[in-house]
Amino acid sequence: MIDPYVYPGTETLKNLFGERDEERLKAIEADYTGFRIRELMDFPVQRIYDLSHLCRLHQYIFQDIYEWAGSIRTINIEKPESVLGGLSIEYSDGSEIERHLDSALHQLCETDWQSLNITGKADNFSRYMADIWKVHP
C-alpha cells in the first residue's frame, strides 16, 4: 500500500516545509511543537476529553508542520519509536480508532484520582496514556 503521508521512496512525513531529511524534520517539529505547547500552557483550553477535542489539540500543535494536522489517519500504521529502539507498537486499526480512544478516555475520566496515592496515580496515568498513544489517531 502506498502511504499517503510520506514522500515517495522515503519514510519522511510530507510536511509544509518540503523537508525530506528526517533528522532536520525532527528538529523542525521539536521547535514548532514546543512553541505551540508553550502557548497552550500559557493559555489553556477547556478540557474535554473526546476524539474531537484531541483532534483540535493535534491540529493546533502541528499546524505549522503538517497539512493533515488534526485529521484522523486514513491508513493503518507502523512507525519506529525511539523509546523502543526503533521498533513499532501495534497501533489501533483505522476502523477501531474512535472505539479504542473512547474506551481509553472513559477509563481516564472515570478514575477516582483523589483516592489514589502518588504511585497509584502514576501507574494509572501512565497506563491510560499508553492506551491513548496506542490508538494514535
pLDDT of residue 89: 86
Q: Which of 34-48, 53-67, 71-85, 88-102 has the lowest mean pLDDT?
A: 71-85
pLDDT of residue 2: 84
3-state SS class at 87? strand
How many Å apart are CA 99 and CA 94, to the nearest integer?
10
- Judged against a pLDDT cut of 90, whether residue 81 lies above it is answered with no
Tens of pLDDT, residues 37-49: 999 999 988 878 8
pLDDT of residue 78: 85
**For all residues of the chain together, what is the average pLDDT?**
92
Buried/exposed 99-127: b ≥16 CB within 10 Å, e otherwise: ebbeebbeebeebeeeeeeeeeeeebeee
β-sheet bridge partners, residue 13: 6
* Percentage, residues of the chain above pLDDT 90: 74
Place 5 in a pLDDT band, splitting at 50, 70 and 90: very high
* Mean pLDDT calculated for residue range 8-13: 92
Note the Cα 10 to chain centre separation in Å. Answer: 21
All three cell numbers of 38, joined, read: 508553550
- Judged against a pLDDT cut of 80, whether residue 14 lies above it is answered with yes
- Residue 91 is classified by DSSP as P
How many Å apart are CA 85 and CA 70, to the nearest integer?
27
* Mean pLDDT calculated for residue range 87-92: 89
All three cell numbers of 50, joined, read: 473526546
pTM: 0.82
